[in-house]
Structure 1
Amino acid sequence: MPKVVDPEARRDEVVDAVFRVVRRAGFEQASLRNVAEEAGLAIGSIRHYFAGHTDLMVFAMRASIDRVGARILERVGPLLAATDHGERAEGVEAMLAELLPLDERRREEATVWLAFTTAARTRPELQPLAREAYDGMRRLVRRIVEGVARHRRLPGEPAVETERLCALIDGLTVEGVLHPERMTPELMAAVLRRHLETLAEPRL
């Protein structure tokens, strides 16, 4: 009997191969041929699940967004259940930490994400997803900032504090990927924690 292949599982395998190629050699090297070789498949097998290279890259970028988003959603429940300021602060920090390259998995994800967003500058097919992720992070951060404002006095206007925190996350991510020997996970975590503390000044 012919082997039954789970289409969803096979697509995930191909996407993981895309990510490995991108991490190792860069976005431009993630051709169908190279991805197929990385996945141990024939190019025809790739084309069975994806219409072409563009379709595969869009699918992979969507998968990258969804994987990080799923982990962030897992943090929502504990954050909503927090009963005091200390628990809320820990919940917020844990949620935002999912966006930073603090361990091997998140560093690999951040490396791939930076490659995709850089490619999106000149590839129109990727730009809607890049904007979606950009806007999604800002909505998340804005809600966090507004939540802090309900209990504490913000150093600045909510819109400004939103952009300040987003810029911090973006900067730490880039530095953590490009200069991991200097921007270590411990330093990134400490910088994020200190920044969040500046948002939590008690109201007078």
Structure 2
Amino acid sequence: MPKIVDHEAQRKIVADAAIRVIQEHGLEHATVRNIAKEAGLSVGSMRHYFATQAELFTFCMNLFAERVQKRVEALQMSGSVLQDMKNLLLQFLPLDEDRMMEMEVWFSFTAKLLVYPELKKLSDQMHQGMYLSVQWVIQELQKQGMTHPELDAENEIEKLYALVDGLAIHTLMQPDRLTAKRVEQVIEQHLSTLCPT
């Protein structure tokens, strides 16, 4: 009787192996041979799950997008609007081991956008998701009547988006200087400057 294989589960095993190879050795070592070895598969069987390297990278990027979405959806609202908005924004930042790994691999992928144009669409979707979350934060603060009446929402959305994106990069590049506690303080202070009370 032939062995029944869960195709989607095997794809996740291969993607996890690719992520480990990239994290430990860099994207340049994410060859079919190295990933197959890490996943415990033959090169031929790995190609059964992903026809191209770009397809594998796209699948990995989708996994990261799903992880962020699940973190956001799992957030419990505390009742404090500022605290809840801060907690939402922190989901996009590499403040623990898992998110740091995701960010390291994500930046490795974004470096390949010129080589694999099919990754650009997914990268744009991820950035759009973060942008929409930032937009929602500003709109929610306005809706709750917490912001300055003369607040330029469009400008503040761009500033907060740039702050979150910049903190993500700097936390990745200089984790000893920009600790999780410091990042939380920066986000909290920025949100409090938008809200006079």
Contact 2:54 2:118 in 1 (8 A): yes
| 2:128 counterpart of 1:167 | no
Q: Which of 153, 157, 170 does residue 147 from structure 2 map onto?
A: 153
**Cα RMSD for the two superposed structures:** 1.8
Report the residue type matching 1:28 in the other structure: E
Instruction: Kindly provide the amino acid, as one letter, of the partner of residue 59 in structure 1.
Output: F
> Which aligned segments of 4 or more residues in structure 1 are displaced greater than 4 angstroms?
none
User: 1:198 corresponds to which letter in structure 2?
Assistant: T
> In structure 2, what is the equivalent of residue 49 of structure 1?
49
In 2, Cα distance between equivalents of 1:50 and 1:62: 14
Q: CA deviation at 1:29?
A: 2.1
Give the superposition deviation at 1:183. Answer: 1.3
Q: Determine the structure 1 residue equivalent to 2:188.
A: 193
* Alpha-carbon distance between aligned partners in 2 of 1:194 and 1:153, rounded to the nearest angstrom: 14
Equivalent-residue separation in structure 2 for 1:26 and 1:196 (angstroms): 36
Distance (whole Å) between structure 1 residues aligned to residue 90 and residue 65 of structure 2 = 15
Deviation at residue 122 of structure 1 after TM alignment: 4.2
Pairs aligned (count)? 195
Preserved contact between residue 68 and residue 91 of structure 2 (Cα < 8 Å): yes
Deviation per residue, 1:154-173 (Å, 9 max, x gap): 47411111111111111111
Task: Tell me how far apart the structure 2 counterparts of residues 74 and 43 of structure 1 sit (CA, whole Å).
Answer: 37
Higher-RCO chain (CA-CA 8 Å, sequence separation at least 6): 2
- What CA distance in whole angstroms lies between the structure 1 residues aligned with 2:152 and 2:114? 30
Query: TM-score of the superposition, structure 2-length normalised?
Result: 0.90
Aligned to 2:39: 39
TM-score for both structures, normalised by structure 1: 0.87
1:82-93 pair list within 5 angstroms: 83=79, 87-93=80-86
User: In structure 2, which of residues 123, 128, 133 is the aligned counterpart of residue 140 of structure 1?
Assistant: 133
Between 3-12 and 57-66, the greater mean CA deviation after superposition: 3-12
State the 1:2 CA deviation: 5.1
Distance 1:21 1:36 in 2: 10
How many angstroms apart in 2 are the aligned matches of 1:137 and 1:65? Answer: 10
For 2:53 and 2:155, the matched residues in 1 are separated by: 39
Farther off after superposition, 61-70 or 19-28? 19-28
Letter in 1 for 2:185: A
Separation (CA, whole Å) in 2 of partners of 1:122 and 1:4? 36
On the 8 A contact 2:170/2:178 being kept in 1, the answer is yes
From 120, 123, 129, give the equivalent of 1:130: 123
Structure 1 residue matching 2:176: 3-state secondary structure: coil
Residue 57 of structure 2 corresponds to residue 63 of structure 1: no
Which residue identity lines up with residue 109 of structure 1 in the other structure? Answer: E
List per-residue Cα deviations over 1:128-183 (Å, max 9, x = no partner).
00111111111111011011112122474111111111111111111111111111
Structure 1: where are the runs of 5+ without partners?
A: none
Q: C-alpha displacement at 1:6, in angstroms?
A: 2.0
Counterpart Cα distance in 2 of 1:114 and 1:200? 33
Q: Structure 2 counterpart of 1:25, which letter?
A: H
Identity in percent: 36
